[in-house]
């Protein structure tokens, strides 16, 4: 396109409308809401949409061509799905007073634009928003264009069995369902092994003390230790001097 000077990344909310009212369909017959839906559900990318042509006048950016596209991108930005868009900056001769007076029709200082809505425009718009929110939260499927026109939301969250409920350990790792049972069993076995090791260590300590006492000639302590070991069924071959 002749006269293009450069490209500029701009937030859609920083671009003002020049039109006061726009149709809800593009010149090729495609629907604004369908493009909005496709962007919201990642069926198309922002780069797939023709760039908005802007001018910089009186300290602000204005959409010289692309008011319908700007409406869509502002809505997508409002929902957190767009940070900035690459625009075509037109040369200064588009900002001449004569051209500007013919182009500027907006009566709200460019902050908003009216849409020539169909009878079901608002219903379809709300259907898209609700479906997107439920997809974001519950993982529902994106609605088709037909479902949007009928005011229906596609998909439903897959119910989870109580056995599939996720369990998170303090270290941040998690498990679910049968894995939780396995983890519980493993933890129980760990504590059993810990108790068994404690008994073995304690018993070994008692046996060592008994042997020391025996060889030191402390018959009273040795006899006491022998009784304790007998109660614990400790396999110790006790031999007394005749």
User: Which residue from 156, 160, 231, 169 is spatially nearest to 199, judged by alpha carbons?
Assistant: 231
Span 197-238, pLDDT tens digits: 666 666 666 656 555 555 455 555 556 666 666 666 655 554
Question: Poorest-confidence range of 102-111, 135-144, 150-159, 166-175?
Answer: 166-175
Whole-number average pLDDT of the chain: 76
Strands 174-176 and 53-57: unpaired
pLDDT band at 21 (very low <50, low <70, confident <90, very high): very high
Residues 164-177 have pLDDT tens digits of 444 444 444 454 44
Residues composing the chain: 242
pLDDT value of residue 31: 94
pLDDT of residue 119: 87
**What is the band of 193 on the pLDDT scale with cuts at 50, 70, 90?**
low
Q: What is the CA radius of gyration of the chain?
A: 39
CB atoms within 10 A of CB 79: 14
Average pLDDT over residues 69-81: 96
Please name the fold of domain 6-116.
3.90.1530
pLDDT of residue 167: 40
Find all residues with CB under 8 Å of 108, minimum gap 6, and list them: 17, 20
pTM: 0.58
Residue 178 in this model has a pLDDT that exceeds 50: no
Say if residues 127 and 151 touch (Cβ distance below 8 Å): yes
Give domain limits for the chain: 6-116, 167-231
């Amino acid at each position: 396109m002749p006269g293009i000077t450069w490209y500029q990344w701009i937030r859609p909310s920083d671009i003002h409308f020049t039109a006061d009212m726009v149709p809800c369909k593009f010149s090729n017959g495609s629907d604004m809401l369908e493009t909005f839906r496709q962007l919201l559900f990642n069926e198309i990318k922002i780069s797939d949409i023709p760039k908005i042509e802007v001018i910089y006048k009186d300290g602000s950016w204005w959409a010289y061509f692309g008011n319908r596209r700007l409406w869509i991108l502002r809505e997508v930005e409002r929902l957190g799905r767009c940070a900035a868009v690459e625009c075509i900056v037109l040369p200064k001769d588009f900002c001449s007073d004569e051209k500007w007076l013919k182009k500027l029709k907006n009566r709200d200082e460019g902050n908003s634009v009216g849409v020539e809505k169909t009878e079901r425009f608002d219903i379809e718009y709300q259907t898209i928003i609700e479906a997107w929110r439920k997809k974001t939260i519950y993982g529902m499927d994106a609605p088709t264009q037909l479902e949007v026109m009928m005011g229906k939301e596609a998909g439903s969250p897959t119910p989870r069995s109580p056995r599939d409920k996720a369990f998170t350990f303090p270290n941040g790792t998690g498990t679910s369902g049968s894995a939780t049972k396995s983890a519980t069993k493993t933890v129980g076995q760990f504590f059993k092994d810990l108790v068994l090791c404690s008994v073995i260590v304690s018993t070994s300590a008692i046996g060592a003390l008994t042997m020391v006492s025996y060889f030191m000639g402390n018959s009273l302590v040795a006899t006491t230790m022998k009784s304790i070991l007998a109660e614990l069924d400790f396999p110790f071959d006790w031999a007394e001097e005749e």
